[in-house]
Structure 1
C-alpha cells in the first residue's frame, strides 16, 4: 500500500479534518487517508452515517455504485469498513462551531460530551450536508431529573431503569443497545409499530418475548414525574418507574454553527470550484453543502466530489503528493 502516514507535526491534531460523517465525509476520509494522511472525522451525532442512519437506516438505497438495493445502514457500514487499517479517527458527538487561521492551517473549535475542544489541522473538508443533525426538542409536561433527547454511551446507563419514548429507528436501536449493555429498558410509542431494519425489528420482538426489555405500545405518554412517567396503555393508566427518560423524536438539521464561517454563503450552499475549493485556502466542501452540486442531492454525486476534494486536500497539505492518486488497482492495502 502507500507508505504509512508520517508523524503529525507537534502542533496539529490531523493533516485533514473532515466535518460530517455521512457518505461524502466518510469517502473523503478514506481517500485522504489512503493518500497517506492522518484524518479526523467530526460528527454531531454519536454514530457515523448522517441522514442515512439518523433518518432512514431501514430504507433501501438504489444509486450507490456496486451496492444495489442496499439498506442505508448497510451502505454506511461498508463505508466505515473501508476505513479499516487507515489512519482515520472518528470523533462522534463533536459539533464544529468555530474556524480560525492557524499559520498555514486551521483551528476548529468544537463542543461535545467531553466539553469544548480545539482541533488544529492542515486542511478542512466540509461534508456537513444539510447541517448538524440535532435532536428535536422534548416538550413533555412534568419534571424528572434526567430527561434526554439523544442516546448517551450505553455503558453509562448500565443498571439503570430507562424509559425510551419514540417509534423512530433510533429508538429501536437504543432499546436494543441499552438492554444489551445491562439497562432495564421499557420502550413505548403511541403506535404499535416501530421502525428499524428487519434484523433490528426481529431482535426487538425476541427481546420483548424473552423479557430482556419491555415494550408498551400503543401507549400515550401523559407526563414525566420525579420517579418516572405516567402513561396510558390500552386506555388504562400506568406508572413506569425510570431513572432516565429518553424522548427520541428524530433530528432537525442545523447549519447555524457553520454559517458564521466566511465562506461566501449562498443561502444553504457554500460556493466551490471544480476541485472543491472554497473561498478559504485549505478549506474544501463536498456533498449537499457544495453549491456546485446544485439540486443533485445524490450520494453518487457526493462520493465523486469527496474523491476530488480529498486528493486536492492531500496535495495542499503535502505538496509533494500529486493531486492525481493513480489507480487503486495498482496499489494494495496491507
Structure 2
C-alpha cells in the first residue's frame, strides 16, 4: 500500500474541484467514488438541467459542468477510482487506512465530499406509484428531456429544483402543470418570476388524491374540491431522503446526518476534513459554489498542519502552474 497525501471520498463537483486544487498545491491525491461515473448528482440525476448559481457560468448543464471539472482535473497528476465503495476509515499514527470493497489504501489526510450521503427520493405515497414508476410514466428526476417531448407533464413540488425542471420542460413538452401543496414557492424570486411569466399551468394549493387512467386527480388543500388532469408523464420533485454512511468511529455528526466542521472544515478527528453538502456548521449554506470554497479552506488548512514537505504553501494564485 503506497501512502499518498490526500484521499478524497466522493467524485461530485466539490470532490473533483478539491482534487484539482490539492494537486495545484502540490499534494499527491486520489478520489474514490462508489458510482461508475464521476460528477455526483448533477451528472447522474439531472445531466440536462441548467445550473445558474456558479460564478462565471451564466448557465451550465450538469453534464457540461462535470466535463469541465474533469478537463480541469486532467491538468494535475491524480488517481480516480470509480465503482469503488469506501467501507471503513481507520485513524493511524501517520494518517488513515481506507478500506473499500476492492482495496486497502493509505493517506495522510482524508477529505469527505460525499454530498448528502445515500439518496432516496421522497415519494408521493399514493397507491399505484410503484407501478407507474416501473412503466416509466412516473419519475423522480430527468436524465433526458427528449423523453418528454410533445407530452403533457405534471410536476409535483414547490422548490427550486421543481420550478427549474418545469421551466425546462416547457421548452419540449406540449403542456406542463405544476402542482404544489402551498400557495407560495420555496424558490429563488427570479425563478418564481420566470414561472409567473411562463405558460406553465399552476395548481396551488393542491395535493395528489389518486392516479387515474388518464392522469391524476388533485384535491385542494383543506377542501373537498377535486380536479382531474389528463397527463402523459409525472415528475415528482419532493427532494431526497439522505443517509450518511457511518465511516469512522467517533465522528461527530449533526441531527441531519452531516459532519460537524470548524472554520477550517476539519472534523473532530485530526486529519479528517469535510466539504460540500456533507458538512455542517453555524451559518451553513448548501450551495455548490460554497462547497468549492470549503474545499479550498480544507486543503489550505491541511497543508499547514500535516507533514507535507513538498506542498506549495501559498495557494491563492493560479500562477502556481
Tell me which interval the TM-score lies in, with the shorter structure as reference length.
0.5 to 0.7
Residue 83 (1) aligns with residue 69 (2): no
Could you report, residue by residue, the CA deviation over 1:56-97 in whole angstroms, capped at 9, with x for unpaired residues?
Answer: 221111111111111122112111110113111111212212
Which residue matches 2:269?
A: 280
Residue 298 (1) aligns with residue 284 (2): no
- Measured in 2, the distance between the counterparts of 1:293 and 1:79 equals 29
Which residue matches 2:160?
A: none
Could you report, residue by residue, the CA deviation over 1:189-217 in whole angstroms, capped at 9, with x for unpaired residues?
Answer: xx898x9xx9xxx9xxxxxxxxxxxxxxx
Which residue matches 1:258?
A: 246
- Measured in 1, the distance between the counterparts of 2:62 and 2:263 equals 28
Which residue matches 1:28?
A: 18
How many residue pairs are counted as aligned between the two chains? 239
Query: What displacement does 1:324 show?
Result: 3.2
- Measured in 2, the distance between the counterparts of 1:110 and 1:261 equals 16
Which residue matches 1:130?
A: 116
Within the candidate set 58, 81, 89, 1:68 is matched to 58
Query: What displacement does 1:260 show?
Result: 5.0
Query: What displacement does 1:277 show?
Result: 1.1
- Measured in 1, the distance between the counterparts of 2:106 and 2:46 equals 33
Query: What displacement does 1:30 show?
Result: 0.7
Query: What displacement does 1:258 show?
Result: 2.8
Q: Is the 8 A contact 1:33 1:39 kept in 2?
A: yes
Q: Is the 8 A contact 2:33 2:82 kept in 1?
A: yes
Which residue matches 1:119?
A: 105
Within the candidate set 84, 92, 113, 1:94 is matched to 84
| Structure 2 CA distance for partners of 1:294 and 1:326, relative to 1, 3 Å | closer
- Measured in 1, the distance between the counterparts of 2:265 and 2:90 equals 20
Within the candidate set 296, 301, 310, 1:307 is matched to 296
Query: What displacement does 1:167 show?
Result: 6.2
Could you report, residue by residue, the CA deviation over 1:294-316 in whole angstroms, capped at 9, with x for unpaired residues?
Answer: 45110111010011112223342
- Measured in 2, the distance between the counterparts of 1:65 and 1:293 equals 23
Structure 1 unaligned blocks of 5 or more? 1-9, 142-148, 150-163, 174-186, 203-250
Query: What displacement does 1:286 show?
Result: 0.6
Alignment of 1:29-44 (within 5 A): 29-44=19-34
Secondary structure of the residue that 2:281 maps to in structure 1?
helix
- Measured in 1, the distance between the counterparts of 2:26 and 2:310 equals 12
Q: Is the 8 A contact 1:45 1:92 kept in 2?
A: yes
Which residue matches 1:156?
A: none
Q: Is the 8 A contact 1:32 1:313 kept in 2?
A: no
Could you report, residue by residue, the CA deviation over 1:2-51 in whole angstroms, capped at 9, with x for unpaired residues?
Answer: xxxxxxxx642x32100111121111111111112221111121111111
Within the candidate set 308, 311, 321, 1:321 is matched to 311
RMSD across aligned positions (CA): 4.0
Query: What displacement does 1:133 show?
Result: 4.7
| Structure 2 CA distance for partners of 1:292 and 1:318, relative to 1, 3 Å | same
| Structure 2 CA distance for partners of 1:28 and 1:284, relative to 1, 3 Å | same
TM-score, normalised to structure 2, is 0.61
- Measured in 1, the distance between the counterparts of 2:83 and 2:282 equals 27
Query: What displacement does 1:101 show?
Result: 1.9
Alignment of 1:141-152 (within 5 A): none
Which residue matches 2:47?
A: 57
TM-score, normalised to structure 1, is 0.59
Query: What displacement does 1:317 show?
Result: 4.2
| Structure 2 CA distance for partners of 1:260 and 1:107, relative to 1, 3 Å | closer
